[in-house]
Amino acid sequence: MDIKPFIDSVEKQGLNVEGIIVYQRGRELARHRWVPEQPRLIYSVSKGFVSIAAGMAIEEGKLRLSDHVTRVLQRHNPGPRWDSLTLEHLLTMTMGHGKFTRPQSLEEALSYELSKDPGESFLYDNTCTFLISAMLTKVTGQKLRDYLLDRLFRPLGIGDPEWQESADGYTIGATGLFITTSDMSLFGRFLLQRGNWEGRQLVSSAWIDGATRTHVPTRTTQREPDCDLGYGYQFWTCRHGAYRCDGKEGQFLLVLPALDAVVAINSNEKKLMPILYAVWDNVLPGLKSES
């Protein structure tokens, strides 16, 4: 597969992309680096790993979608909104916050006011993902990163990655994971294979299918064509039948089930969407021609 059109496009636009890997139908079609590969912060792509951890904990009987946050965390917050908040609300970013937040501790996360009823509307918010991490730690006795070591990271060949922690020792979850573009591609292949890896079902295909489909609308809060098609369980649904994780400096993990394909990109770039549009314009046609 020729990805020179993508390379030319991002370079012409001055987009600081670091590397891209394109995978389809069981083989790597293309790889290009602008800088040497090494583990780097993938920002909100981290959220996709939290979704998988939640699915695993649910399948192990440690959590339920209907579990109430304050009950699991054994904390008491005033008001019916906090009392009604569930794991599913966190997964779908419908917690009820009025603005994006980045809590530095569990106490801070639990101190925020909920301005809307949980489930009422979507607002992308790191606190949701952080609270999922805290709930998982409460029911398993493990930090989220440690919980995933033998369940996901090591089976996929990612190893023992660094994942930043909050001031009080919880895996941040919403961000903070350091892995390579190759590692992102492995995770994408795991998602494409609906939770199966080398003959082992690490998480059920039903969880992958459910987590990566639209659960809540996002049209009222987003202004980009790939951000107004809905949100799943820590995954965005987007055009061309794809779903994705993305990070604030141009990290993209795109899974295209209909084309049996994965595109993984790491960048150091504040302008995210032009990178994604360059994939649609210059990589997607090649994937279609390979099908």
Q: How far is Cα 189 from Cα 183, in angstroms, rounded to an integer?
A: 10
CA-based nearest residue to 131, from 88, 162, 161: 88
Q: Which domains does the chain have, with CATH numbers?
A: 4-290 (3.40.710.10)
Q: What is the mean pLDDT of residues 203-220?
A: 93
Residue 96 backbone dihedrals phi, psi, to 5 degrees: 110, 10
| 221 pLDDT more than 60 | no
The model's pLDDT over 160-204, given as tens digits with 9 standing for 90+, comes to 999 999 999 999 999 999 999 999 999 999 999 999 999 999 999
Q: CB–CB of 195/202 below 8 Å?
A: yes
Reduced to 3 states, what is the DSSP secondary structure of residue 188?
helix
- The alpha carbon dihedral of 72, 74, 75, 80 has a sign of positive
Reduced to 3 states, what is the DSSP secondary structure of residue 145?
helix
Q: CB–CB of 173/143 below 8 Å?
A: no
Reduced to 3 states, what is the DSSP secondary structure of residue 174?
coil
Q: What is the mean pLDDT of residues 136-151?
A: 98
Reduced to 3 states, what is the DSSP secondary structure of residue 197?
strand
Q: How far is Cα 282 from Cα 24, in angstroms, rounded to an integer?
A: 15
Instruction: Determine the pLDDT at residue 76.
Output: 79
Q: How far is Cα 244 from Cα 284, in angstroms, rounded to an integer?
A: 14
Instruction: Determine the pLDDT at residue 265.
Output: 98
Q: What is the mean pLDDT of residues 1-20?
A: 97
Question: Which DSSP helix (H) or strand (E) runs through 201?
Answer: strand 200-201
Q: How far is Cα 217 from Cα 154, in angstroms, rounded to an integer?
A: 35
Give the pTM: 0.97
Q: CB–CB of 55/204 below 8 Å?
A: yes
The model's pLDDT over 22-75, given as tens digits with 9 standing for 90+, comes to 999 999 999 999 999 999 999 999 999 999 999 999 999 999 999 999 999 998
For the chain, percent of residues with pLDDT exceeding 90: 92
Instruction: Determine the pLDDT at residue 78.
Output: 67
Q: How far is Cα 107 from Cα 134, in angstroms, rounded to an integer?
A: 11
Q: What is the DSSP letter of 164?
A: -
Per the document, the length of the chain is: 291
**What are the CA-CA distances from residue 137 to residues 123, 126, 148, 171, 238 (Å)?**
24, 17, 11, 9, 31
